[in-house]
Chains A and B, each alone.
Chain A
Amino acid sequence: MAQEVLPVKAPKTSKPLRRRHRTGDSWMPILTLAPSIGLLAIFVYGFIGWSGYVSFTNWNSFIPTLTWAGFRNYVTVLTSFRFQSDLRNIFFFTILFILGVLVVGLILALLIDQKIRAESLFRSIFIFPMAISFVVTGVIWSWLLNPTTGVNLILKSLGIPGPQWFLSTRFVPTIHLGQLSIGIPIALLAVVLAAVWQMSGFSMAVYLGGLRAIPEELKEAARMDGASAWRTFWSVIFPNLKGTTATIVVVEAAASLKVFGLIYAMTGAGQDFTTDMPNLNMFQTTFSGDAFAQGAAIAMLLLLLMAAFTVPYVLSVLRGER
């Protein structure tokens, strides 16, 4: 990551420092880390284990009934119309959202990298949505994309009939699989739009760092060979952005699987769960429906999904450091 070099001042050695046995300090790093490790051992790993245990019990009412239920909750969840809709939604949402932030972020980064004036102003404008809350974004965009107001008023004045946005119940394509419609829910596109507006500043910033890390000589050499800007991009610049792209994909996929406030504030579960997500399902199943064990089962499935790509990624980054 490109970061400016720290201004390292020489330490003041005038202050007399007490002499100590160096060996006595060897335990200090571990003692320093102990409180944090202890807290995370309970609040992350302990609680995950506890949730996992709850997901195998009969605790599906207000009274905690911790008798063993085996995989019954998982079967209930996986065969429910709502969770199957969630899986379809999170699949399409993640793909469209990641494609959106990659394409928009890369285009913005390429434009900003053209040695332009007012570079920091443009950068600030594209990144500022990252500083506001997902629920603020949800509230604002639910009005902007309300079918009777907002963007549709502008489209109408241009003679274009506006879509139903997040109130649409259509799927493209519509393939029926039992009770479930497989296809991209049109309603979800409105949420993708808001999410890309909010998060593309991240991909732009990371791509900009990646572009600036490509040695000038490489681009110069391509130009000397008479390669067009288009050719230079695809054969010199883009291959050098592979690592950058992988980073963005993992971070944004993790963000996508965590999406909650945006949906909660913008659309809710939607008609026939067209905009529902596993996170919202878990929250409502657990706290509105008092089905704690089923809620825990949804959370565990979500955690597995997340771990499947974040664990290998973090391991590979840590290995690469050595």
Chain B
Amino acid sequence: MVMRRINRTLVYGALIVAAILYLLPVYVVVITSLKSNASVSLAQMWNFPTHASFASLRAAWAQLAPNFGNSFYLAIPATLFSAALGALNGYALTKWKFRGANVLFFVILMGLFIPYQSVLIPLLRVMDSLGLYNSIPGLILVHTVYGIPITTLIFRNFYSLIPDDILEAAKIDGTGYWGIFRHIILPLSMAGFVVAGIWQFTQVWNNFLFAVSLTNPPNQPVTVALVNIAGSQTVQWNVQMASALLVSLPTLVVYIVLGKYFVRGLLAGAVKG
């Protein structure tokens, strides 16, 4: 009994130490964001601000606000489009067994495992010739296409959990391909859309490579704006940390509210059927 109590104490002690280490960057970012230009100094970096000042957050927001608009305008349509395609693909791959389904799934899935540098040069050329270079619609197209592999994977996993029996009954009744999708599959898909949607929104919001390759000011998403602010020698640390905090807030809020679904998207990336 005593041994057990000691073990419990050790387990909780280790967990609490680990949690503090994981949250340490958050502590630094938040307290630095709440310091004004006058009170930010390297020596007192770890100290609590003597009084909370919103000057840094206001300064960061003034620089980032237009880019926030860009990122929302990009991430929401791109998420909806790739989730919709993923749902259609997942349905076709799981509920209608046909020859070559696995080959087609492999062809789709490998898109998840390419370094995007290997498509970047042609991508820029094609976007340019379509008139979509340096535009948010161009980025929406790019993220929709490269989002297809993961959303297809998520919906394929999700739909394979729906028993085939209920479809068989509908097929015998003469319900067709789209009828089954519309009346049976779609009403059961809410959780799948939440998982795929959250995952895609986070990926698109956080993406940097496509954003920095395909856009110039004023069409840049927040991640590029953040790197520009951080790279500038004239911007104080408190404004940089405030910018980092603001850029992270949308995805963090989604994670805090719908964390369970985020983890399911995370595990889908493990590619286990």
B241: contacting residue among A24, A32, A143, A261, CB under 8 A: A143
Summarize B's interface: helix, strand, loop or mixed: helix
The digit string for B244-270, where 1 denotes a CB below 8 A from any CB of A, is 100110011011100100111011111
A302 and B118 contact, Cβ closer than 8 Å, known pairs A17-B174, A32-B91, A135-B226? yes
B1 within 8 A of A: no
Interface residues of B in 156-175 (CB under 8 A from A): 157, 161-163, 166, 169-171, 173-175
Q: In the complex, how many angstroms separate the beta carbon of A179 from the nearest chain B beta carbon? A: 25
Pick the most buried of A39, A108, A320: most chain B CB atoms within 10 A of its CB: A39
Chain A hits for B207, CB < 8 A: 133
Contact A32 B89 (CB under 8 A): yes
Residues of A within 8 A of B92 (CB): 28-30, 32-33
C-beta contact mask, B90-116 vs A, less than 8 Å → 1, else 0?
011100101001101111111101111
Contact A279 B121 (CB under 8 A): no
Asked whether B188 is an interface residue with its Cβ less than 8 Å from the other chain, the reply is yes
Interfacial chain A residues near B217, Cβ < 8 Å: none
Cβ 8 A contact of A25, one of B169, B176, B272: B176
B43 contacts which chain A residues (CB < 8 A)?
A: 153
- Cβ of B187 to closest chain A Cβ, rounded Å: 8
CA distance A295 to B11 in the complex (A): 50
Contact, CB under 8 Å: B46 / A154 = yes
User: A11 with B208: in contact, given A36-B148, A51-B118 (CB under 8 Å)?
Assistant: no
B117 in contact with A11 (CB, 8 Å): no
A164 to B93, CA, bound (A): 53
- Given A32-B88, A247-B270, A122-B117 contact (CB < 8 Å): no
Indicate with 1 or 0, residue by residue over A252-281, a CB within 8 angstroms of chain B CB atoms: 001001101100110000000000001100
With a 10 A CB-CB cut-off, give which of A143, A149, A264, A317 has the most chain B CB atoms. A143
- Which of chain A's residues has its CB closest to B206's CB? A133
Cβ-neighbour of A11 out of B88, B166, B176, B266 (below 8 A)? B166
Contact, CB under 8 Å: B117 / A40: no
A60 on the interface (CB 8 Å rule)?
A: no
| Contact present for B251 and A132 (CB under 8 Å) | yes
B interface residues, how many (CB within 8 angstroms): 109
Complex: how many Å from CA A133 to CA B212? 14
Q: Which residues of chain A have C-beta atoms less than 8 A from B54's C-beta? A: none
Residue from A25, A43, A141, A307 having most chain B Cβ neighbours under 10 A: A43
| Distance in Å: Cβ of A89 to nearest Cβ of chain B | 15
Whether B271 pairs with A36 at a CB distance below 8 angstroms is no
Check if A130 is an interface residue, CB within 8 A of chain B: yes
Residue pair B170, A150 in contact (C-beta under 8 Å) = no
- A116 near B119: Cβ-Cβ < 8 Å: no
- Check: A67 CB closer than 8 A to any chain B CB: no
A296: B residues at CB distance < 8 A = 121
**CB atoms of B171 and A22 under 8 A apart:** yes
Q: A139-B240, A317-B271 are in contact. Are A303 and B223 (CB under 8 A)?
A: no
A-chain residues with CB within 8 Å of residue B208 when the two chains form the complex:
133-135, 260-261, 264-265
Report which of A11, A148, A279 forms a contact with B42, defined as CB distance below 8 A: A148
Contacts of A247 in B (CB 8 A): 270-272
Interface flag for B29 (CB, 8 Å): yes
B120 contacts A299, CB within 8 Å? yes
Judge whether A47 and B11 touch: CB under 8 Å.
no
Question: Does A63 lie at the interface of the complex (its beta carbon under 8 Å from any beta carbon of B)?
Answer: no
Tell me how far the C-beta of B151 lies from the nearest C-beta in chain A, rounded to whole angstroms. Answer: 10
Residue in B25, B114, B223, B267 whose CB lies within 8 Å of A306: B114
Inter-chain CA distance A133–B225, complex, in Å, is 13
Is B59 located at the chain interface by the 8 A CB criterion? Answer: no
Residues of B within 8 A of A125 (CB): 19, 22-23
- A44 B115 Cβ-Cβ under 8 A: no
A33 vs B209: C-alpha distance when bound (angstroms): 27
In the complex, which residues of chain B have a beta carbon less than 8 angstroms from the beta carbon of A300?
A: 118
Which residues of A sit under 8 angstroms from B269, Cβ to Cβ? 202, 251
CB under 8 Å from chain B, chain A span 45-78: 45-48, 50-51, 54
Query: Nearest CB to that of A50 among chain B residues?
Result: B122
Is B213 interfacial (CB 8 A cutoff)? yes
Jot down 7 A-B pairs with beta carbons below 8 A, ordered by A: A8-B163, A25-B96, A29-B93, A29-B177, A39-B145, A314-B109, A317-B272
Supplied contacts A32-B91, A40-B111, A111-B15, 6 more A-B pairs, CB within 8 Å:
A48-B114, A51-B118, A148-B42, A197-B22, A286-B120, A311-B113
Minimum-distance CB pairs A-B, first 8: A133-B206, A261-B208, A29-B92, A47-B119, A131-B255, A310-B113, A28-B177, A50-B122
